[in-house]
A and B are shown apart, each in its own frame.
Chain A
């Protein structure tokens, strides 16, 4: 595809011609021509497995292309390492954070090029530089001498952005860089990116969030199956058209219809004044059989802690939890998943809390239910294989051989493996912690369908999501948390993006609807 509709006709900063990348027999990129220009924010769109990440990794010197050429300001270049790309002004903020947890914020920001005196690192100058950069990204509250591992995910992401700016990039690449940010931080990142664009930087931006693209991008490029499909100026295609380009098929309604109920369903999970000082205060909530209840609000208002408290991870929880009317008090995930309680938690970070990456798909899926699959002293391999095959079919997990390591699957399929693991336990209460973060549109849609099917089959579902669209589309009720308390519960037609945002910020609701306090 020729980049004809580009508004700027100066020479591109970075140009790629015929770039291909093959991993063994798999083609990740197939003859891609691509260019990006100084002074523009360029969004790269596509489902997982479309080749976006490979494209970025080639530009950033993490992997080398199998074929094709790359030009930086019309000079042919080839980067063997990320360090080489950085020296040429290409700085990348990856989805997997590249911070060093045991080092201080200042050490991290100046990791490769600290200020030096007599050849040795000048700690004072380094702290000053870090403080300046932190102030620039609106994070003056982070102390440069604090260890990165003591920061929240959102702050870490901001430190990552400060670190990238400190390297004086000409081309800045953000790969899902806002997925962990709080709303306030997102706003300041947008402001920074706009300012950098006006200063003449080229910015490549990868995101799965449509409204971010609308707000930020000047140009969009869509990738599908390792090919560059189209590049166009913002506003030339509607959201629906873009999604069609990405998935290559007609765009259907993303969310399955919600059931209409005459009376509230019988409660499965009942929380009464659940507290975990200082993060949770007097949480009272019920989730009925067949219901999907959302947890909303700004990021970091206690939603994650609530799920962890229910799943027996936190110590010192007060208040009461009842399952089907019987009080329970799980003190470990082992107890929480037992048939007596029947909980499952789909964790936030599948790589560290969800999966054993080097182990096979089979071992991962049967991990939580291995006791049920055991006969005598050994696992019944035939029964295990049958159950796993059912799961792979039911969730449409794309895997050739269930004995291959789960690390070889794409992100969306890995997340399906995590879900399959918990469906195997036949849990009646399913807790989900931001389950679609960093997952492609197609898989998300399957996920929404699945959640509704599980609910229809009688499960009680408690869903925390940072994506407001998702809460609006999926949930029968949404509890908005603010500083560890339930501020409001939205139901039925009250569940709109506007109301969630307004409630999250502790504002009034639109349309005069009365909400339960």
Chain B
């Protein structure tokens, strides 16, 4: 019993994000003229999963106490690359997908190597590498265009057995294949340890360099998956700087709404996924209530502030003012 209580309390941020999403999505469906149909769910899922993947990519560096400002640009770079090479015979398509994902891994490895071995600060490093990745994206796609294997795109963006949105299934698979092993591996725990107290982790004999590097490499991989998915949804590539920037900033917002501490050390990608869904549902709510979509940033800001305030509510209960800073 006490174990269940501790388990829940230590994940309160995640549960809060899930509850918030259920509430908002419930309101959305309740006011949608068609109700919860497969098509409505698929549209919502495709957009939500896109941001969820980028938010997952952001979560890993944040857990180590860092921040990755390049996730949006890796996302855009992989979108542009995919619009060139994921086409042709099934073999070519498969090789293309592998190349896109490898590009994401490589991009993460570059940022991670500079941060770990060059000992530069994550924020400034990823700001710089992000700009470089965007530059490459522009070289690949000076103007929007390109194409992608249509059959595969249709498969990914519709439903499995005409009931479940495929992207949702893919998200679950990715989470199971990347996050669960990460969370339960010694290296993954090392990432949390580094975010919690890097000096103490070093003194405990934790392999710090390897763990941190892995966080950025996996981050690049997840961002590449998102870039691939974007290409499947739009059938084209576009080196859009605003899109890259927006996804980066929204990914940070999603991470925070999902209960991961920006100081590192606690949280996880499940919360971030629901944080991303919450942000995405705002757009849908504006739609069903016939509000102009231009209001979206304003509402996103309000939801973000509200979510952060809920987490900060404990401040008012603190009886020792010193704990404000701990």
Contact = CB atoms under 8 A, between A and B. Distances in A.
B320 interface: yes
A98 B181 CA distance: 25
A98 B204 contact: yes
B163 interface: no
B202 A82 contact: yes
Interface string A303-333: 0000010001111100000000000000010
A148 to B, nearest CB: 9
B176 interface: no
Interface in B193-221: 193, 195-197, 199-207
A120 B3 contact: no
Contacts of B205: 81-83, 85-86, 112
Interface of B: 2-3, 6-7, 10, 181, 184-186, 189, 192-193, 195-197, 199-207, 261, 264-266, 318-322, 326
Contact of A82 (B2, B186, B204, B318): B204
A285 interface: no
Contact of B189 (A82, A107, A163): A107
Contacts of B200: 96-100
A97 B6 CA distance: 24
Interface stretch (A11-19, A139-147, A394-402, A408-416): A139-147
Given A62-B203, A102-B261, A146-B6, A314 B319 contact: yes
B267 to A, nearest CB: 9
The 5 residue pairs across chains A and B that have the minimum distance between CB atoms: A102-B265, A83-B205, A98-B203, A102-B196, A120-B184
A163 to B, nearest CB: 8
A160 to B, nearest CB: 10
Nearest to A57: B203
Nearest to B189: A107
A114 interface: yes
B184 A112 contact: no
A120 B183 CA distance: 9
Contacts of B204: 82, 98, 100, 111-112, 163
A103 B193 contact: yes
A98 B200 CA distance: 4
A353 interface: yes
B184 A100 contact: no
A143 B6 contact: yes
A102 B326 CA distance: 12
Nearest to A83: B205
A276 interface: yes
A71 interface: no
Given A62-B203, A112-B204, A121-B184, A100 B321 contact: no
A308 B203 contact: no
Contacts of A119: 185
From B181, B264, B318, B322, name the one whose CB has the most chain A CB atoms within 10 angstroms.
B322
A39 B7 CA distance: 42
Nearest to A84: B205
B195 A102 contact: yes
Given A94-B203, A120-B184, 7 more contacts: A82-B204, A96-B203, A100-B192, A100-B265, A111-B201, A112-B204, A116-B186
A236 B242 CA distance: 77
A7 interface: no
Contacts of A492: none
Given A82-B203, A100-B201, A120-B184, A315 B265 contact: no
A273 B48 CA distance: 58
A103 B198 CA distance: 13
Contacts of A313: 320-322
Contacts of A353: 322
Contacts of B321: 312-315, 332
7 contacts: A100-B204, A111-B206, A112-B206, A114-B186, A149-B326, A313-B321, A353-B322
A339 interface: no
Nearest to A332: B321
B206 A83 contact: yes
A358 interface: no
A103 B204 CA distance: 13
B203 A111 contact: no
Contacts of B192: 100, 102-103, 107
A315 B320 contact: yes
A101 interface: yes
Nearest to B261: A102
Nearest to B193: A100
Contact of B186 (A86, A101, A121, A314): A121
Contact of A96 (B184, B196, B199): B199
A163 B261 CA distance: 26
A276 B197 CA distance: 31
Contacts of B189: 103, 107, 111, 114, 121
A83 B204 CA distance: 7
Nearest to A317: B319
A129 B66 CA distance: 32
Contacts of B181: 120
A113 B184 CA distance: 12
Interface string A464-495: 00000000000000000000000000000000
Nearest to B188: A121
Contacts of A145: 2-3, 6-7, 10
Interface string A283-310: 0000000000000000000000000100
Which of A100, A111, A119 is most buried by chain B, counting CB atoms within 10 A of its CB?
A100
A147 B322 contact: no
Contacts of A116: 186
Contacts of B203: 62, 82, 92, 94, 96, 98
B186 A112 contact: yes
B204 to A, nearest CB: 5
A315 B319 contact: yes
A164 B221 CA distance: 37
Nearest to B195: A102
A308 B264 CA distance: 29
Interface in A101-138: 101-104, 107, 111-114, 116, 119-121, 123
B232 to A, nearest CB: 31
B123 to A, nearest CB: 19
Interface in A60-100: 62, 81-83, 85-86, 92, 94, 96-100
A147 B10 contact: yes
A144 B206 CA distance: 20
